[in-house]
Structure 1
Amino acid sequence: MTFDLSDVAAALRTARAEAKPIDAPSKTWPSLDANSAFKVQELNSEYAVKNGDRLVGYKLGNIAKVMQAAFGLDHPDYGFLHASSFVFEGTSISRDKFIKPFVELEPAFVLRSSLKGPNVTVADIINAIDYAIPAIEIIDSRVKNWAIDLPDTLSDNGSTGAVILGGTPRKLTDLTLNNTRGTLKFNGEEVMSGNTKNVLGNPLAAVAWLVNRLSEYYIEFKAGQVIMPGSCLEAVPMTQAGHWSCAFEGWGTIDFDVL
């Protein structure tokens, strides 16, 4: 079956804009595979930038086993980060702008120098990072009921929703990224916990994986960009209004409200 990737891209843009889910792209377009799905990502990234948005980094998702189990995937996904998806810490977010969102806690890294694979090592990653920030990603799928295979979440830009960066940047030497506990609280009650070691043993290793994977598409990570390596805990549904407090022990807390 032949099809135009721009049709897939347009369908996903419309679903995002209207907050109305569609059938899985891999069902509507059965020939869609991981490589063509990434091309759909690129088409929508190019569309966003042409219409005033800005590419500010990259994300990795479903790297932790708890996340793969939760969403029925056996392989990480990845996507582009655009400035329009970033929300300020401490502000209120409308539940209505999403379809079926989940809250994740993860570290984020800001680069001081460029990175390009293949054969990038964790040492290369450490040398390239300026600082780390605690971050929230709200993931959201444009696919009905999150019934996704890898081509579906890839074409949907790694199921991105929104990103909140915390206000406590730290140098890597001030953190223990292979063993830092993280928690999610909703209305004061802990609803999920995890550890940064769940992110491929160390989130820095996850960044190396992402740089090397995206080098297959000739992508270079640039100084100043934000890199998100994936959640350290199982994502929690964001189903109702209330207050979220998301924290890494000994590092920082991110608070936001859902309307």
Structure 2
Amino acid sequence: MMLSRSEIEDAAGILAVAAEQARPTDQLTGRYPGMDVGDAYAIQKVNLARHLGAGRCVVGHKIGLTSEPMQTLLGVDEPDFGYILDDMVLANDSTAQWARFCAPRVEPEVAFLLRAPLRGPNVTVHDVRAATSAVAVALEIVDSRIRDWKLTLRDTVADNASSGAVVVGEWVPYSEHLDLAASRASLRLNGHEVDTGLGSAVLGDPATAVAWLANSLSEFGTELAAGQFVMSGSFTTAAFVRSGDIASAAISGLGVVSVRFA
């Protein structure tokens, strides 16, 4: 780690204020040019502790930057991750207040509900499938507290992997008959399809992304706990949304979820 503890605390505070006021801030890497990825995860952890101290709890995890185009854009060769708190989960077909976000976008994903913990290292796709009780179509609302989405890997990691909220559909019991790599997602805004993609866009298979996360978290002494869910990464591009929009995601074999922005 390159930053001092006080710099890490200060950076976390800047992001916390930006989130609370829904007013984005400039790149942290501009303010702290020596910040590395380890510092970024330390900043993320400070704000997690802040939320837990306020009575919120972790119900899931998210994986970002799973697609090759996004990795190329930020000049990285692996995904990143963040946490999902209880008050970040929205009901299907509910209304989200657009003004609570800075610059929201939506992505279609598969969520994995775990019946058994996963703790790395050496977690395999087979382990993920054995530990999964159900999967669901989900719509992630990604949001960047960094102004104009002009960010680096370090900026987005510090900003909880640009997490905003999630809409999770009905849980479908998991079985080997569900070929998630071959499943197709459709992302729609106001009834019009804006993008479509296959599960294979997510590191070849969404279950591979969950295994990657379990192994990565082990470096921080953390596991994926039973009862938690994992957002495994987007099948498509992320589309911006505005107040009044209705966004929906459909994944073959899993159903449809939607959310209205008011």
Shorter-chain TM-score above 0.5: yes
Structure 1: give runs of 5+ residues left out of the alignment: none
Matched positions, count:
258
Superposition pairs for residues 1-259 of structure 1, below 5 Å?
2=4, 3-69=6-72, 72-74=74-76, 75-259=78-262
The separation in 2 between residues aligned to 1:73 and 1:214, in whole angstroms, is 22
Aligned-partner Cα distance in 2 for 1:257–1:66: 28
Which deviates more from structure 2 when the two are superposed, residues 171-180 or residues 1-10?
1-10
Compute the TM-score of the two structures, normalised by the length of structure 2. 0.94
Instruction: State how far apart, in whole Å, the 1-side matches of 2:69 and 2:7 are.
Output: 35
Q: Which amino acid is the alignment partner of residue 192 of structure 1?
A: D
Q: Give the distance between the partners of 2:109 and 2:69, measured in 1 at CA.
A: 14
Partner SS state of residue 145, structure 2: coil
Contact 1:241-1:258 within 8 A present in 2 as well? yes
1:143-182 deviations in Å (ceiling 9; x for gaps): 0111111110011000000111102423133411110010
Q: Distance in 1 between matches of 2:36 and 2:99?
A: 31
How far apart are 1:121 and its partner, in Å?
A: 0.9
1:96-124 Cα distance to aligned partner (Å, 9 max, x none): 11111110000001111111111111111
- Which amino acid is 1:91 matched to? S
Deviations 1:6-45 (A, max 9, x none): 1111110100010001111111111211111101111111
Q: Deviations over 1:176-223 (max 9, x none)?
A: 111001001111111111111100110001111111111111111110
Q: Which runs of 5+ in 2 are unaligned?
A: none
Letter in 2 for 1:163: V
Identity of matched residues, %? 35
CA distance in 2, matches of 1:20, 1:101: 12
**CA RMSD of superposed structures (Å):** 1.4
2:242–2:261 CA contact under 8 A, matched in 1:
no
Amino acid at match of 1:82: L
